[in-house]
Amino acid sequence: MPRDNPQAKASTYDMNEADNPMSHAEAVMDQDHAFASEHLPAYALDALEGEEKARVARHVNVCSLCQKEYDVYQDVASSLAFAVPVYDPPSYLRTAIRTQIATSPAGASLERGESPRRRRARPVAMWLNGIVLIALVVVASWNVRLQQEVQNMHGNVERTFEVLNLFMHYQAEPDKVHMRKVVARRSDSNTWGLVMQEEDSGRLIIYMDGLPVLPAGRVYQLWLRQETWSRLNDVAFRCDGKGRALLEMPLPVSLYVISAVGLTAEPESAPANVECCTIVMELEGH
Amino acid sequence: MVVHRSGKGGIVAQERESDEQLLKRIAAGDQDALLALYDRYGRLVYSLAYQVLRDHQLAEEVTQDVFTRVWAAAHTFDPERSKFTTWLNTITRNRAIDILRQRRVRGLTGAGEAELNTAITRADERFLPEHHLRALAVREALAELPEAQRDVLELAYFGGLTQREIAEKLGIPLGTVKTRMRLGMMKLRDMLTSKPGKERDDGSDAARQSAGEGEHV
Query: Has residue B30 got a pLDDT over 50?
Result: yes
Q: What is the pLDDT of residue B130?
A: 59
Cβ contact B35–A89 (<8 Å): no
Residues B201, B135 contacting (CB under 8 angstroms): no
Ramachandran sector of residue A46 (left: φ over 0; alpha: ψ -120 to 50; beta: rest): left
Question: Between chains, do B35 and A86 touch, taking CB under 8 Å as contact?
Answer: no
Nearest to A37 by CA among A81, A7, A17, A15: A7
> Residue B216's pLDDT is what?
29
- Give the H/E segment covering residue B3: strand B2-5
Q: What is the pLDDT of residue B34?
A: 94
Give pLDDT, residue B116.
Answer: 44
Is B68 within 8 Å of A102 when comparing Cβ atoms? no
Q: What is the pLDDT of residue B86?
A: 93
Q: Quick check: A78 contacting B, CB < 8 Å?
A: yes
Average pLDDT over residues B204-209: 36
A259 φ/ψ angles, rounded to the nearest 5 degrees: -105, -20
On whether the CB atoms of residues B153 and B185 are closer than 8 A, the answer is yes
Q: What type of residue is A135?
A: A
Q: How many angstroms separate the Cα of A87 from the Cα of each of A41, A59, A91?
A: 28, 39, 12
| Measured CA distances, A155 to A161, A241, A246 (Å) | 10, 19, 12
Identify the pLDDT of residue A149.
63
pLDDT (0 to 100) of residue B60: 93
Q: Which residues of A touch B31 (CB under 8 A)?
A: 98, 101-102
pLDDT in tens, B61-90: 999 999 999 999 998 888 888 889 999 999
Quote the CA–CA distance of B99 and B96 in Å, as a whole number: 5
Q: What is the SS3 assignment for A247? A: strand
pLDDT the model gives residue B187: 95
pLDDT for the residue numbered B199: 42
pLDDT of residue B202 exceeding 60, the answer is: no
pLDDT of residue A24: 66
Q: What is the pTM of this model?
A: 0.55
For B27-95, the DSSP string reads HTT-HHHHHHHHHHHHHHHHHHHHHHH--HHHHHHHHHHHHHHHHHHGGG--TTTS-HHHHHHHHHHHH
Distance CA(A97)–CA(B46), nearest Å, equals 13
Question: Mean pLDDT for each 10-residue chunk of chain A (286 residues)?
Answer: 33 44 67 90 94 92 91 93 87 88 67 44 57 71 64 59 74 80 79 85 85 84 85 80 84 84 81 70 76
Number of H helices, E strands in chain B: 11, 2
Do B59 and A87 make contact, defined as CB atoms within 8 angstroms? yes
Task: Using DSSP, state whether A45 is helix, strand or coil.
Answer: coil
| B118 has a pLDDT exceeding 70 | no
Please tell me what DSSP assigns to residue A109.
-
pLDDT at A144: 65
Nearest CA-CA distance, residue B28 and chain A, Å? 7
